[in-house]
Amino acid sequence: MRRHHSSALALAAALCWTAPAVAQSEAARASVTQDDLAAMRAQMEAMAKRISSLEAQLAQAQEGGAQEGQAQEGQAGGQPASPQLAATQPSQSSQAAPGSGSGQRPAAGPTVAAAPPPSAGASGASVGAKVAKAASAIKIRGYTQLRVNEIVSGDKTAPDGQSRLRSVQDGSIGSDTNFFIRRARIVLQGDLGHGVSFYLQPDFASAVNSQSAGERRDNFVQLRDAYVDVALDKAERFKLRFGQSKVPFGWENLQSSSNRVPLDRTDAINSAVPSERDLGIIAYYTPARVQEIWDELEEKDQKLFGNYGAFAFGVFNGQGVNRQERNDSLMAVVMGTWPMRLDGIGLDGQVLEIGGSLLYNKVRPEIRSGGVSDGNFKEKRAVVHAILYPQPFGIQTEWTFGRAPVYDTAIEAIEIDDATGGYVMAMYRVPDFGAGRVIPYVRWERYKGGWKGALNVPRLDTNDIELGVEWTPVKPLEFTFAYARMKRAEADERRAGIAEGDVLRAQLQWNY
């Protein structure tokens, strides 16, 4: 049998290997510096690694030697060796202990094969698998919109006190404007297990207006969504949502800007909840048959309104997105929507979705003199919607009515008045002709009422027609080109009248 080193000899060999370095450090002990200490520390670490390596080699050698001895004794006896007997055989590789003074070999104890050291590769693979599993539960996506508008005719500028052609939906419609980043958003979402999921979305293209001399600053980071969903059943049909999210009022308000055909939302529907979001709690319920239809539409690449349930009830602060609560009342919203297949009336493959929302709120608008109003203003609104998904022809319409705060120039104060309006849009989904997907559209919108997203809740009077086309050559890129004939009052109670004009608009959106 081959001879194997004992662990004592392995340790001695390692010590002899590092003896010169140790001796050198001992000799220079009187003049040790920080560099010397660092060098000695490195030598000691190398010595420890060498000892570990020798011990691993020794363990492997002992295991191989034990197996070889069992095989030889089994051959000599005509039968396999007994494990108990193999363990009690004297080791042929044993040597006299150093300093014993005896040339005879002492009787060796039982030879025990050492367990192999843990595999670094297996441990790394285990950690890597856990990291991969955690990472797979989180999804990251987003989109950016680069936009340009040009007022080709009309009231680009106006004297003081007169309305200029402007839009509360797009701050880049005006004089002296060119390219503009409309949105730059990143979404992080994922399942946390046990029916719990999260959603986080900041926007990197928000504007700040309170700068020196009224100069606007663009591309600041603002929180848009931050909520957690908790499913109350195994099928996850019934959920509770906690945090800042979209308010379920208006179909197009719930639809993502990355998924909408026209460039902007309409003033009428968006006036109830400018920026579409607030902080609160929502309960959602989606029947299985409704989810089945939505899944089919999504497979056909239709533009849906998002994960907001077929039925919803929510309570919110009511002051608006990223604004401090100013009273003890809550805004209450209820919504219902129902998609229906039209196969039974000869429109095979077509789906019509109808529904509506109700909103009740007490709000304190921001006023020009600073802060918010002293008292609450009651707001009662309703909206109805109907969508015939474009397969290939489609129609989408919403209409809202109710009473809400608005600035009255006659009494120079905010009062409660009617807020009515809506839109009708027709679109056609052109089949893929080898250069991507094309959806031409035409939309008319009308609104008369207050805009509580601006100081003093100015009165809007909007009457626009827009013709456009969305072209998606490849999935990551979307181009939208539009022409709009605008007639609207500027969102400033200090300016009167209606501004008119023609606007050419273009946008590039890239999805990631």
| pLDDT surpassing 60 at residue 114 | no
pLDDT range class, residue 67, cuts 50, 70, 90: low
- Residue owning tokens 């849009």: 425
Q: Which two tokens stand for residue 173?
A: 């419609």
Check residues 102 and 481 and name the one with the higher pLDDT: 481
- Say if 87 falls within a structural domain: no
Residue ending a domain, choose from 46, 77, 108:
77
pLDDT of amino acid 445: 98
Q: Please tell me whether residues 291 and 431 are part of one structural domain.
A: yes
H/E element holding 364?
none
Q: Please tell me whether residues 222 and 366 are part of one structural domain.
A: yes
| pLDDT surpassing 50 at residue 47 | yes
Q: Please tell me whether residues 43 and 163 are part of one structural domain.
A: no
Q: Please tell me whether residues 47 and 154 are part of one structural domain.
A: no
Residue ending a domain, choose from 31, 46, 77:
77
Q: Please tell me whether residues 207 and 283 are part of one structural domain.
A: yes
| pLDDT surpassing 80 at residue 37 | no
Provide the residue type at 371 as one letter: G
Lowest-confidence region among 57-66, 262-271, 367-376? 57-66
Q: Please tell me whether residues 390 and 311 are part of one structural domain.
A: yes
Q: What DSSP state is assigned to residue 248?
A: S
pLDDT range class, residue 51, cuts 50, 70, 90: confident
The Cα–Cα gap between 285 and 313 comes to 9
Lowest-confidence region among 28-32, 126-130, 348-352? 28-32
Q: Report the number of distinct structural domains present in the chain.
A: 2
The Cα–Cα gap between 407 and 416 comes to 9
pLDDT of amino acid 26: 43
Q: Which two tokens stand for residue 447?
A: 């609104």
Q: Which two tokens stand for residue 112?
A: 């025990």
Task: Specify whether the CB–CB gap between 198 and 179 falls below 8 A.
Answer: no
The Cα–Cα gap between 258 and 305 comes to 11
- Say if 2 falls within a structural domain: no
The Cα–Cα gap between 491 and 461 comes to 9
Report the length, in residues, of the chain: 512
Q: Please tell me whether residues 324 and 429 are part of one structural domain.
A: yes
Q: Please tell me whether residues 222 and 345 are part of one structural domain.
A: yes
pLDDT of amino acid 182: 95
Q: Which two tokens stand for residue 176?
A: 């002296």
CATH number at residue 409: 2.40.160.10
Residue 27 to residues 21, 24, 42, 71, Cα–Cα distance (Å): 10, 5, 18, 52
Task: Specify whether the CB–CB gap between 501 and 154 falls below 8 A.
Answer: yes
pLDDT range class, residue 5, cuts 50, 70, 90: very low
pLDDT range class, residue 4, cuts 50, 70, 90: very low
| pLDDT surpassing 50 at residue 146 | yes
pLDDT of amino acid 28: 42
The parent domain of residue 348 ranges over 140-511
- Say if 305 falls within a structural domain: yes
- Say if 122 falls within a structural domain: no
pLDDT of amino acid 118: 52
- Say if 135 falls within a structural domain: no
pLDDT of amino acid 432: 82
The Cα–Cα gap between 482 and 436 comes to 18
| pLDDT surpassing 90 at residue 306 | no
pLDDT tens digit sequence for 243-284: 999 999 999 999 999 999 999 999 999 999 999 999 999 999
Give the dihedral sign, CA 413/418/419/425: negative
Which pTM does this prediction carry? 0.74
pLDDT of amino acid 15: 40
Q: Please tell me whether residues 343 and 476 are part of one structural domain.
A: yes
The Cα–Cα gap between 265 and 246 comes to 14
Task: Specify whether the CB–CB gap between 455 and 442 falls below 8 A.
Answer: no
Residue ending a domain, choose from 43, 59, 77:
77
pLDDT of amino acid 434: 85
Q: Please tell me whether residues 180 and 63 are part of one structural domain.
A: no
- Say if 192 falls within a structural domain: yes
- Say if 128 falls within a structural domain: no
pLDDT of amino acid 90: 42
| pLDDT surpassing 90 at residue 507 | yes
pLDDT of amino acid 32: 52
pLDDT tens digit sequence for 321-332: 999 999 989 999
pLDDT of amino acid 106: 42
Q: Please tell me whether residues 73 and 144 are part of one structural domain.
A: no
Q: Please tell me whether residues 292 and 367 are part of one structural domain.
A: yes
Nearest to 118 by CA among 109, 127, 108: 127
| pLDDT surpassing 50 at residue 505 | yes
pLDDT range class, residue 9, cuts 50, 70, 90: very low
pLDDT tens digit sequence for 424-444: 999 999 988 889 999 999 999
- Say if 132 falls within a structural domain: no
Q: What is the mean pLDDT of residues 440-453?
A: 97
Q: Which two tokens stand for residue 43?
A: 């030598």
Q: What is the mean pLDDT of residues 18-30?
A: 42
pLDDT tens digit sequence for 397-414: 999 999 999 999 999 999
